[in-house]
């Protein structure tokens, strides 16, 4: 029996195992930051004094029990509200989304898709998109390391919100449509929600070289930069 069917609590346990694996192998997501909340299913969470507001697309909630935030950054896992709360609600495809947020810097430039792909050198990119305010990469390999029973294919994205560098990811069960083309829409919806819910503050910009230097400096606390490979 698939772990993603029949038992509404089983996906939640699988997500917990995936998040535990992430925390062990990508220590910066879990070390040196404080727990965010005790509630399992949150509609949204406000970070860095409200400068970044994270919420899932329709039918998805923030996992407050696994939320991590502190002065060095934040790690926000997102899953279906049904799987987190154990209560019937909007039916959506099971998936694990993550949002990593670095502290605000006055030298920030959005990473392009090539930079995101290069930060995941062990995985094979099959599609790279530099869009309006967000860069997206679809990988053919590596997703199963982040999620038990997961598809090798997964999605990553990078964007800037009020001077904060954000890394987004979408991991789906094996053969899920969200591991393929539908995942592009989901990660785009996640990025759009981040922009729309967060306040509009004074723009902070930098040159590409300055931004690269900032990312290199932050790589020490987040293996692989803002886009850590869970394996």
Token output for 43: 């509609």
Residue count of the chain: 231
The CB density around residue 45, as the number of other CB atoms within 10 Å, is 21
Q: Which residue has the higher pLDDT, 113 or 149?
A: 113
Q: Which residue has the higher pLDDT, 60 or 228?
A: 60
- Whether 214 shows a pLDDT value over 50: the answer reads no
pLDDT in tens, 62-118: 999 999 988 889 999 999 998 888 887 788 889 999 999 999 987 778 889 999 999
* Span 25-34, average pLDDT: 35
Percent of the chain with pLDDT over 90: 52
First vs last Cα of the chain: how many Å apart?
Answer: 26
- Whether 36 shows a pLDDT value over 60: the answer reads no
* Span 28-32, average pLDDT: 35
| DSSP class per residue in 160-229 | EETTEEEEEEEEEETT-GGGTHHHHHHHHHHHHHHHHHS---------HHHHHHHHHHHTTTSTTTTS--
**Residue matched to tokens 């038992």:** 7
Greatest C-alpha distance within the chain? 52
Residue 135 · residue 159 · CB < 8 Å: yes
- Whether 188 shows a pLDDT value over 90: the answer reads yes
Question: How far apart are alpha carbons 154 and 6 in whole angstroms?
Answer: 24
Question: How far apart are alpha carbons 128 and 212 in whole angstroms?
Answer: 19
Pick the closest to residue 195 from 131, 138, 105, 117 (CA basis). Answer: 131
- Per-residue pLDDT band for 223 (boundaries 50, 70, 90) equals very low
Q: What is the pLDDT of residue 121?
A: 87
> Which of 60-69, 70-79, 181-190, 222-231 is modeled with the greatest confidence?
181-190
Question: How far apart are alpha carbons 129 and 127 in whole angstroms?
Answer: 7
- Whether 146 shows a pLDDT value over 90: the answer reads no
Please enumerate in sequence order all residues whose Cβ is within 8 A of that of 195, keeping only pairs 6 or more positions apart, or say none: 133, 159, 161
């Amino acid at each position: 029996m698939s772990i993603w069917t029949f038992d509404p609590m089983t996906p939640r346990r699988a997500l917990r195992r995936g998040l535990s694996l992430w925390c062990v192998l990508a220590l910066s997501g879990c070390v040196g930051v404080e727990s965010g909340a005790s509630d399992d299913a949150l509609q949204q969470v406000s970070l860095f004094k409200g400068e970044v507001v994270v919420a899932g697309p329709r039918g998805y909630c923030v996992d407050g029990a696994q939320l991590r935030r502190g002065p060095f950054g934040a790690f926000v896992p997102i899953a279906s509200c049904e799987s987190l709360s154990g209560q019937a609600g909007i039916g959506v495809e099971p998936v694990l989304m993550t949002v990593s947020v670095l502290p605000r810097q006055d030298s920030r430039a959005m990473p392009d898709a090539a930079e995101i792909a290069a930060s995941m050198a062990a995985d094979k990119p099959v599609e790279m998109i530099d869009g309006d305010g967000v860069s997206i990469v679809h990988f053919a390999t590596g997703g199963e390391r982040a999620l038990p029973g997961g598809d090798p294919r997964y999605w990553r994205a990078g964007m800037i919100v009020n001077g904060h560098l954000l890394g987004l990811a979408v991991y789906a069960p094996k053969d899920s449509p969200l591991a393929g083309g539908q995942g592009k829409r989901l990660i785009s919806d996640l990025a759009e929600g981040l922009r729309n819910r967060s306040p509009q503050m004074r723009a902070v910009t930098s040159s590409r070289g300055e931004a690269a230097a900032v990312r290199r400096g932050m790589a020490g606390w987040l293996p692989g930069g803002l886009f850590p490979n869970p394996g």
